[in-house]
Structure 1
Amino acid sequence: MSKAIGIDLGTTNSAVGLKILDTRIITNAEGEDSTPSVVSVQRKKKLIGQKEEFLVGRHALDFLRQDPANTVTSIKRLMGRGFHDPDVRRMLDEGRYSYRIAPLSGGSEQSVAVVLHGKEYTPEQISAKILEKIRNDCKAELKDEVEYAVVTVPAYFNDKQKHSTRVAASLAGLKVQRLLPEPTAAAISFGVEELNADEGQTILVFDLGGGTFDLAVLTIANGQFIEQGKGGDMWMGGDDIDNLLREYVYRETESEHEIEDLPALIDALPDVEKSRFLGDMNAKVEAAKIRLGAQTSAVVEILGVLRDKDGDILDVEVEITREHFESLLQPFVDRAMELTRNILGSIDFEPNLIDRVVMVGGSSSIPLIIRAMRDLFGDDKVLLHERPMLAIAEGAAILAHRLADSYECPVCGKQVAQTDDICPHCGFDLKTNLTDKGVLDIVHTTSHDYYLALENEDDYQLVEKNTLLPFHTQYEFKLLDPKQRLIRFQFYNTVNEKRESIGDLWLGLKIEGDEEAADENALPEVLLDLDIDSDNLITVSANIKDKPDIRVSRTLSRGKADERLFIELQKSIDEANRGDYKYYAAYDFLDRVIQIADMINRLIDPKTGEEDRTLGKQIEQRREIAHRLLEKGESPLANLYYAEYFLFQVGEFIPDKDRKDLETVMEEFRRQNETGTLQQIMDARDKLFAELDKSMGLQALVSLQSAAEICHERDPARAPYFEKYIIDIGSALHQGDGANAQKLLNEIMPEAKKELDWKEEQKLHISHGIQR
């Protein structure tokens, strides 16, 4: 029967657990409790060409020294990130990683790729290789299928990062039962093992892993795990402590040998020697960090590799005392304590309300960190987890067992359903056992504050941090203009007081000719529905109030091509608003933008997350045509609408054959506007103009009607002047008095032309904002 596992997908190491009767860690194919989160792509020669092979874990780690440019570490730090993200730029500037990080071709500004052997891979694809190895190793160990998993994520992962984790799991062939915050997983491991059924406690989990620092406060009672608050920093971890030590070793070496730029000497090494040196340095500073946790000093030593500018051997040999290590580490610890106090403050807790502090993660055992936590909470409350590197995987495994459709009875070992209170095979009291030794339920909360950007740089808070999940609400907003036809909802969250975009929602209004508003000056209202599930994944939908059919919906934070296209669409609108374009050319552009927004909304399959690449190419083509038409000052859609208006107003006066010919040409023109090239659109328009020119007199009458409508908009007091002429000309035509009709037209058309010219010269600003 297919198994459900719990996975701690870590920055530096990953682990997997399984709960049957007891919870255990499943060793990998190499016999290790944890798998290094390292992926290397190697090329093997074939008789014809080369074959790319993915190595994961220990075997990939072996290539970190030999081929660092094609070996990826700390990929978790790139999950859900964009190339221009300040923290990603910091990764590049620090030069800690030898593999190439680049913008993702075809992705949005919120996406990134790693380049191995000249080929792009997304962070999701690399992470999927780690998850795939974990899954395959479990299948081999358990001799069974592994289909479901609870996958842990940092408590402060934003929504894009969570979505990326789900994508990675899917690529690895896993169905995610739940994305579980890492400190919550550690709390489950602690609570199930350490607390009695009738014992309730409020605990703070301090999780300092390889790449992230997580905090969570939870109340545990009777199998219930209630998240009170979450916090931390996605860019604090053991890697950063290693970097502090590395920089210290470099400074001391420069001082000892009286050189100015040690990194420049390292860069000057041949590639193989440089890779070996950097690999040795990474390994030795990590070993020194671990040693300094138990000893009073450690030595980082690399001999016979570096040379100075004169070619002389330059040995690296630096002793680090515990005292000096702690002085280097103090700002890091101060920041950790600040974040710990912040999470308490965010939920109005004092340290004395915390019953127990559980320390997990490899770096949480550093003595200075433990002392700082004891100073804050008291010696007796701070507990270092017995298995700090494995607690998260154990907690995930316990929840995976709870979420599975069925599990093994602890007494007879036969399958029972999650809904069974009593084992149907042996009569064992399953419900009491679950309360005593399991997880009945987890009450999750939001990790961040969520906002909607309103017009004039105003913001509206949609959801407050630490709101109970799942969550649903509806909000009502107004448009900026009665005639506004495009709406953009801009969503973002705040992470440690930094504003992060989590996506947009665009809604275009295709107003039909007979949909005149009861009050043309009234601002239309729009309803926004927001849903956040237990995994903190957000779905938003919007519709015009009282018009539920004008609706759009999407999941935020995907970072896929639709986000890039929406960003480009916004830039196009901004350019159009800045430019000096004729009214009808801008109106044509607006119509095309609305069509493009609708196409982008359909680009990503909401169920599979797959991109419709054919549609993507069509969107690019439509956007290019819209731009070129705007630059040329052309307005084919306005011409089409004029032809439709012409038929509506005077179709009864056109001979049947001419009317049918005009309708045929209009239909072809409409089709070319939707799918044709720029040249095909213009050719079809020429045919339309030729057909309309058969009725020049009637066109003049329609122009007069348009002028009257413009006058009503511009100067309502003068509108009756035009309307009288229209009535008189219509009467003359019905009486067959063409001469009088023409006479009246000749009298009024100079005035009508002034109105038409005025309209053409107006500036059309494309509004798309909202307000409360």
Structure 2
Amino acid sequence: MLIGIDLGTTNSAAAIWQEGAARLIPASADGALLTPSAVSCDAAGATWVGTPARDRRAAHPADTATSFKRAMGTNTLFHLAGREFRAEDLSALVLRALVEDIAAETGTRPTEAVITVPAYFNDRQRKATRQAGELAGLTVRRLINEPTAAALAFGLQDKGDREPFLVFDLGGGTFDVSIVEMFEGIVEVRASAGDNRLGGDDFDRALIALTAPRLDPEGRLAALPETRREALLARAAERCRKALSSAVEADFTVTLDGETQLSVTVGQDEFEAASAPLLDRLRDPIVRALRDSDIAAHDLSEIVLVGGATRMPAVRKAITRLFGRFPNAAVHPDHAVALGAAIQAGLAARDAALDEVRITDVCPYTLGVEVAEPSPHGGLQKGLFSPIIERNTPVPVSRVQSYSTLSDGQKQIEFGIYQGEAREVARNIRLGEIRIPVPARPAGEVDVDVRFSYDSSGLLEVDLHIPLDDSRHNLVLLDEEDREGPESLAARREALAALKFHPREDAANMALLARAERCYEDHIGPVRQNLGRAITRFTGILDTQEPRLIAEARERLSAQLDAIEGSAPL
């Protein structure tokens, strides 16, 4: 059985694709559709997951972990009742609880899953999520970006075409935006951006800072152990924030010993003012996604809200101010991502009801290699990042760049392979390396063509070609750490092989250039001059290797040739 799972910072949910529709699965313990992403342990070895663990946090904060999704892919250790856990271990316990709920509901134990991740999760975080699934006994068929999953749930409500819309996904610990378009059954992600350190938890901390001066003038909270104090304040802040989503004011209340209460009233306006720095941080990912997609804000058809933190009036007001219109709250903010994951599971299982639906995604981070460049003051400036596949490039994709030797008699070149956006590779994520021999020649005489080919499941294939001696080298980097069978891997590499040519070698582009050259030869004067500039522009766009830009340029040049040739005298 293949299922969809939204593995969230605050809450998680599971859904299945059944009889042509996505359906959320309730927890067997309390029937709730959301399972808190919480784990608690005791000295006797007992473990609680979900609602019982969240409820236990107030009394046993040192033995309870929440918001561990933020530590995915790091070396952070959580110490619970004398036991050590990584974020992947804790996430696996939550996933296992969801699997048990589905088994209880359907009578069948799931063995495969599509799991959602924030669009801006890097390679390490994605690997950690996949490992969590495997620790829970699941084969992870695919990781899908959370806003992409939400776009599926929103876009397939009526299966109609939709102009580009923006999915605004603010959850408990992460913030993502994606710009999506739907046409003829294709769900195309145009761009994604985000902030992995911005979510409802941060607004809770802003509430705590706001109420601290008034809440406890006698210092009774300060006398408590730190973990106990933080747990009480976090729970009070979460309750107050949720209450402020539907009321103009709410009480921030901490119960100390079962009877003694510390309480202060908070108004929406003062909470919004205290949250201003966080609200300001929402803007940058939106601007980056719009810039990368080359879509203006006024051309968006909808602003779709996803994630429990979007219920906050302060967030909705900020969005309304940013876009000059009200957002669309038609989808359930807590359920859309899990439902979208179930739809993706249906696509992976090739369900007949989804035969006409196709989804394309983008590479969320730039992929490139480490290079050195001559310094203006002599010598070499090392450790620089040279992009090959830019962020928000549609996948699958294949791109090539050329590099040259920098030293006389150089006998080898080492390419470090990185993921990120920083100019210095030290600030990016290192994925691997490849070292190859090169003919010993004077500096700059040996070129190496480096081709990156990348697919939606995280396979990165690196091909290197030295034209001087026609030698070739290859390296394959897998998000799954090469866990899948050789037949599946071979099929994926074969699919990427079809992309491994430069747009200059495409038959349609070659035919159009040949036609343009003939037309250039047939004319003189201004017509020839304009056509020469058009040919130069087109060949320049071919060198960008961007399919969308090339298609638009090809259409323009073809129309220009039609106009010239159609006006020729008989």
Matched residue type, 1:36: P
**Partner of residue 293, structure 1:** 245
Query: Following TM superposition, by how much is the alpha carbon of 1:65 offset from its aligned partner in structure 2, in angstroms?
Result: 2.4
Shift of 1:17: 1.0
The alignment status of 1:232 with 2:194, answered yes or no, reads: yes
Matched, 1:168 2:132: yes
Give the structure 2 partner of residue 593 of structure 1.
none
1:376 corresponds in structure 2 to 322
Match runs of 1:6-85 below 5 Å: 6-21=4-19, 22-30=21-29, 31-44=31-44, 52-81=45-74
Structure-1 residue corresponding to 2:365: 448
| Deviation, structure 1 residue 278 | 3.4
1:141 equivalenced with 2:58 (yes/no): no
Distance 1:543 1:114 in 2: 46
1:538 aligns with: 460
2:460 aligned partner, one-letter code? I
Indicate conservation of the 8 Å contact 2:3/2:14, yes or no: yes
Q: Quick one: distance in 2 between partners of 1:231 and 1:520?
A: 43
Q: TM-score, normalised by structure 2?
A: 0.75
Q: In 1, are the aligned partners of 2:463 and 2:472 still within 8 Å (CA)? A: no
Q: Which residue of 2 aligns with 1:284?
A: 236
Alpha carbons of 1:484 and 1:208: their partners in 2 closer, same or farther (altered >3 Å)?
Answer: same
Identify the match of residue 332 of structure 1 among 264, 278, 282.
278
1:365 equivalent among 303, 308, 311 = 311
**Native 8 Å contact 1:223 1:434 kept in 2:** no
Q: How far did residue 290 of structure 1 move?
A: 0.9
Q: Matched residue of 2:156: which SS?
A: helix
Deviation larger for 451-460 or 461-470? 451-460
Query: Could you say what secondary structure the match of 1:355 adopts?
Result: coil
Per-residue Cα deviation, 1:413-448 (whole angstroms, up to 9, x for no partner): xxxxx5xxxxxxxxxxx6xx754xxxx111111112
Answer yes or no: is the 8 Å Cα contact 2:176–2:285 preserved in 1.
no
User: How far is the alpha carbon of 1:341 from its aligned partner?
Assistant: 3.0
Q: Is the 8 A contact 1:65 1:279 kept in 2?
A: yes
Report deviation, 1:500: 4.1
SS in structure 2 of the partner of residue 65 of structure 1:
coil
Candidates 152, 171, 179, aligned match of 1:217 = 179
Q: Distance in 1 between matches of 2:80 and 2:27?
A: 25
Could you give the per-residue CA deviations for residues 142-187 of structure 1, whole angstroms, max 9, x where no partner exists? 1113122211111111222112211211222222222111111111
| Distance (Å, rounded) in 1 between the aligned partners of 2:413 and 2:298 | 53
SS class of match (2:124): helix
1:132 maps to amino acid? R
Query: Is 1:113 matched with 2:80?
Result: no
- Which whole-Å CA distance do the structure 2 matches of 1:42 and 1:131 have between them? 20
1:25 and 1:498 map into 2 onto residues whose CA distance is 42
Match of 1:607 among 483, 505, 516: 483
Change (3 A) 1:535 1:508: closer
1:66 and 1:275 in contact (8 A); partners too? no
Separation in structure 2 between the aligned mates of residue 453 and residue 508 of structure 1, nearest angstrom: 12
Indicate the SS of the match to 1:27: coil
Cα distance between partner residues in 2 of 1:289 and 1:39: 23
Quote how far apart the aligned CAs of 1:504 are.
4.8
Q: Distance in 2 between matches of 1:509 and 1:192?
A: 48
Contact 2:457-2:479 at 8 Å conserved across structures: no
Tell me, yes or no, if the aligned pair for 2:17 and 2:346 is still in contact at 8 Å: yes
Instruction: Identify unmatched segments of 5+ residues in structure 2.
Output: 373-380, 486-570
Q: Quickly say closer, same or farther: Cα 1:165–1:549, change in 2 above 3 A.
A: farther
Distance of 2:244 and 2:153 partners within structure 1:
28
Kindly indicate which of the two structures has a greater share of residues assigned to strand. 2
On the 8 A contact 2:251/2:263 being kept in 1, the answer is yes
The 3 A distance-change label for structure 1 pair 170 and 523 is farther
Task: Check the 8 A contact 2:360/2:394 in 1, yes or no.
Answer: yes
Secondary structure of the structure 2 residue equivalent to 1:134: helix
Structure 2 letter corresponding to 1:487: E
Q: Going by fraction, where is helix more abundant, 1 or 2? A: 1
Residues 546-574 of structure 1, C-alpha deviations (whole Å, 9 max, x = no match): 8899856352779xxxxxxxxxxxxxxxx
Q: What SS does the corresponding residue of 1:494 show, helix, strand or coil?
A: coil
Q: CA deviation at 1:498?
A: 11
Kept in 1, the 8 Å contact 2:397–2:455? The answer is: yes
Aligned mate of 2:414, from 462, 487, 501: 487
Query: 1:382–1:528: structure 2 CA closer, same or farther, 3 Å change rule?
Result: same
Aligned twin of 2:450: 528
Matched, 1:463 2:389: yes
Preserved contact between residue 385 and residue 423 of structure 2 (Cα < 8 Å)? no
Once the two structures are TM-superposed, the CA of residue 317 in structure 1 deviates from its matched residue by 2.2
Structure 1 residues 334, 496: closer, same or farther in 2, change over 3 A?
Answer: farther
- CA gap 1:176/1:305 in 2 versus in 1, 3 angstroms: same
Task: State how 1:70-469 maps to structure 2 within 5 Å.
Answer: 70-81=63-74, 111-193=75-157, 195-197=158-160, 199-253=161-215, 256-257=217-218, 266=221, 268-269=223-224, 271=225, 275-303=227-255, 316-379=262-325, 382-405=327-350, 407=351, 418=352, 435=356, 440-455=357-372, 456-457=381-382, 458-469=384-395
CA contact (8 A) 1:529 1:541 kept: yes
Between 133-142 and 343-352, report the one with greater CA deviation: 343-352
CA distance in 2, matches of 1:72, 1:496: 36
Counterpart Cα distance in 2 of 1:303 and 1:79: 32
The 1:184–1:498 alpha-carbon spacing in structure 2 relative to 1, beyond 3 Å, is farther
Query: Over residues 458-483 of structure 1, what are the superposed CA-to-partner deviations in whole Å (9 max), with x where a residue is unaligned?
Result: 43221112211011234443444435
1:501 and 2:428 correspond: yes
User: How much does 1:61 deviate?
Assistant: 1.6
Q: Whole-Å Cα distance in 2 between the matches of residues 548 and 38 of structure 1?
A: 56
C-alpha separation in 1, matches of 2:114 and 2:105: 18
Aligned residue number for residue 730 of structure 1: none
Q: Distance in 2 between matches of 1:239 and 1:537?
A: 33
C-alpha distance 275-453 of structure 1, shift in aligned 2 (>3 A):
closer
Contact 1:506 1:552 in 2 (8 A): no
C-alpha contact (below 8 Å) 2:170/2:307 kept by paired residues: yes
Q: Is the 8 A contact 2:370 2:425 kept in 1?
A: no
Counterpart mapping for 1:569-608 below 5 A: 606-607=482-483
AA at the equivalent of 2:369 = L
8 A contact 1:509–1:550 mirrored in 2: no
Deviations 1:671-725 (A, max 9, x none): xxxxxxxxxxxxxxxxxxxxxxxxxxxxxxxxxxxxxxxxxxxxxxxxxxxxxxx
TM-score, normalised on structure 1?
0.56
Structure 2 CA distance for aligned equivalents of residues 467 and 189 of structure 1: 23
8 Å CA contact retained: 2:369, 2:386:
yes
Contact kept, 8 Å, 2:434 with 2:475, in 1: the verdict is no
Match of 2:517 in 1: none
- Rounded Cα–Cα distance in structure 2 between residues aligned with 1:490 and 1:342: 24
Q: 2:133 & 2:467 partners in 1: Cα distance?
A: 38
1:491, distance to aligned residue in structure 2 (A): 1.5
Q: 1:116 Cα deviation (Å)?
A: 3.4
Query: In the alignment, is residue 553 of structure 1 matched against residue 475 of structure 2?
Result: yes
* 1:146 aligned counterpart, secondary structure: coil
Q: Hey, what's the Cα distance between the residues in 2 that align with 1:335 and 1:519?
A: 51
Q: Read off the aligned partner of 1:191 and give its amino acid letter.
A: G
- What is the CA–CA distance in structure 2 between the aligned matches of 1:238 and 1:443, rounded to whole Å? 29
One-letter amino acid of the counterpart of residue 215, structure 2: T
Q: Are the counterparts in 2 of residues 446 and 465 from structure 1 also a CA contact under 8 Å? A: yes
Structure 1 pair 205/495, CA: closer, same or farther in 2 (3 Å)?
farther
| Greater C-alpha Rg | 1
